[in-house]
Amino acid sequence: MSLPRTMRALRLTAWGSPPELVEVPVPRPSAGQVLLRVGAAGLCHSDLHVMDSPPGRMPYELPFTLGHEVVGTVVDAGPEVDPVWLGRQVAVHGVWSCGRCRACRRGRENYCFALTGPVGCGLGYDGGLADYLLVPDVRHLVAAQGADPVRLAPLTDAGLTAQHVVRSLDGELDGATAVVIGVGGLGHLALQLLAPADLACLVAVDPRADARTLAIRLGADAVTADAADAAEWLDDREDGHGADVVIDFVGTPETMRAAGDLLAPGGRIVVVGSGGGSIEVAKGRDLPRGFAVAAPFWGTRRDLEEVVALAATGVVRAETETFTLDEAPAAYARLRAGGVRGRAVVVP
Ligand code: NAD
Ligand code: ZN
């Protein structure tokens, strides 16, 4: 197959600045690498945190192409790659782990010990907001033949991270009261992944009215505009006593304080959002007896396989708004302004 020599790519070229759409060479795969024609790439709020970082905060060298939620079709491969991959549609597991360290051997690739600098696709290495994407190894691909790439792309981070969180709560959800803070890209998928659990009550929090409407449609029993109101709502219930699980997809000082206030004894706070908040993890202070606090990062390859399978059976379905690559900078601006419902997805 003949490939063009150059392609468009949305690159971060300076810290604290919006990315730029530039022309770059189409990479050529060698050894065990594969080249994907990008079918769709989701825009994550994390990209805004990355763009906004001052020089020196992120362990990444500039420039690199953004886009860590990617679905594509394998169009070229290095000589070490099994040719069965050619022509397959795949979801990219963006954590480009080493595959050899203890964390990788235990199937915890998202905590790979080798990832001390760039993390993977679109996070230090060139990502999928481009016509083509070079992936270092087929270990990072999950086959997803026949699925709509636009619905699939958000599952590779928003859905994957939500699945990782929900799986980590296995055994803690039955009969529990849960609160989801932030019903954006990640939160709206988490609500769907929580829905099959036998929860006593699921409350969603978002200041945006359209996000709250979406949350009700996706199975929330109640919605509030701020997390403090969720505490009141829960206390008014017959079995009150706060929430057994609080998943904070915002992570600002306000939401994390509210998460602590909401927590029931023996409850767990899962902080996913990177909003700069903190919480004092100290015994006998503000948090109730038996608390747990976790701050998971992305998800494992197995989580990605699971969430892709759940989408195939209709358990989870991303709400998406589609943009062209030229429109991506404007779409990021909309995401920043809180104007995206579900996930913004670029089709280059
Ligand atoms: P998003 O912008 O799509 O969604 C955020 C949602 O939170 C929006 O609906 C917004 O209205 C809502 N919100 C804002 N302030 C709020 C408040 N005070 N109370 C309740 N809701 C509020 O963002 P996203 O892409 O879903 O990402 C969410 C966060 O998760 C970001 O901080 C992102 O960096 C982080 N993230 C973490 C991981 C991880 O592995 N830990 C992975 C991906 C994203
Ligand atoms: Zn992300």
* Nearest residue (CA) to ligand 1, atom 9: 184
pLDDT at 234: 86
Q: Using a 6 Å cutoff on CB, does residue 120 contact ligand 1? A: no
Percent of the chain with pLDDT strictly greater than 90: 95
Angle between helices 227-235 and 253-262 (to 10 degrees): 10
pLDDT at 233 over 90: no
pLDDT at 181 over 90: yes
Distance 338 CA to ligand 1 centre (A): 10
* Nearest residue (CA) to ligand 1, atom 29: 273
pLDDT at 231 over 90: no
pLDDT (tens digit per residue) in 140-172: 999 999 999 999 999 999 999 999 999 999 999
CA distance 146 to 128: 20
Tokens of 162: 């939500």
* Nearest residue (CA) to ligand 1, atom 31: 273
- For the chain, the residue count is 348
pLDDT (tens digit per residue) in 15-74: 999 999 999 999 999 999 999 999 999 999 999 999 999 999 999 999 999 999 999 999
* Nearest residue (CA) to ligand 1, atom 4: 184
Q: Which residues contact 102 (CB under 8 A, 6 or more apart)?
A: 113
The mean pLDDT of 316-332, rounded to a whole number, is: 98
The yes/no answer on whether domain 160-294 falls in CATH 3.10.20.30 is: no
Angle between helices 158-168 and 301-312 (to 10 degrees): 100
In the chain, where the domains are located: 6-157+299-346, 160-294
Angle between helices 328-336 and 45-52 (to 10 degrees): 90
pLDDT level of residue 1 (50, 70, 90 thresholds): low
pLDDT at 218: 97
Distance 69 CA to ligand 2 centre (A): 7
Which atom, in ligand 1's list, is nearest to the CA of 296? 41
Long-range Cβ pairs for the range 253-256 (8 Å, 24+): 253/277, 253/278, 254/226, 254/227, 255/181, 255/182, 255/205, 255/227
CA distance 263 to 261: 6
Which atom, in ligand 1's list, is nearest to the CA of 335? 2
Angle between helices 185-194 and 209-217 (to 10 degrees): 20
The mean pLDDT of 63-86, rounded to a whole number, is: 98
CATH of 6-157+299-346, picked from 3.90.950.10, 3.30.930.10, 3.90.180.10, 3.20.20.70, is 3.90.180.10
Q: Using a 6 Å cutoff on CB, does residue 185 contact ligand 1? A: yes
Closest ligand by atom to 49 CA: 1
Q: What is the mean pLDDT of the chain?
A: 96
CA distance 132 to 118: 19
Q: In what order do the strands lie in the sheet with 6-12?
A: 20-25, 6-12, 64-65
**Phi then psi for 310, rounded to 5 degrees?**
-65, -35
Q: Using a 6 Å cutoff on CB, does residue 133 contact ligand 1? A: no
Q: Using a 6 Å cutoff on CB, does residue 316 contact ligand 1? A: no
Sign (positive or negative) of CA dihedral 2, 5, 9, 15: positive
Q: Using a 6 Å cutoff on CB, does residue 254 contact ligand 1? A: yes
pLDDT at 241: 86
pLDDT (tens digit per residue) in 251-270: 999 999 999 999 999 999 99
**Phi then psi for 152, rounded to 5 degrees?**
-80, -40
The mean pLDDT of 292-318, rounded to a whole number, is: 97
pLDDT at 19: 97
Within its chain, how far is the Cα of 270 from the centroid?
14
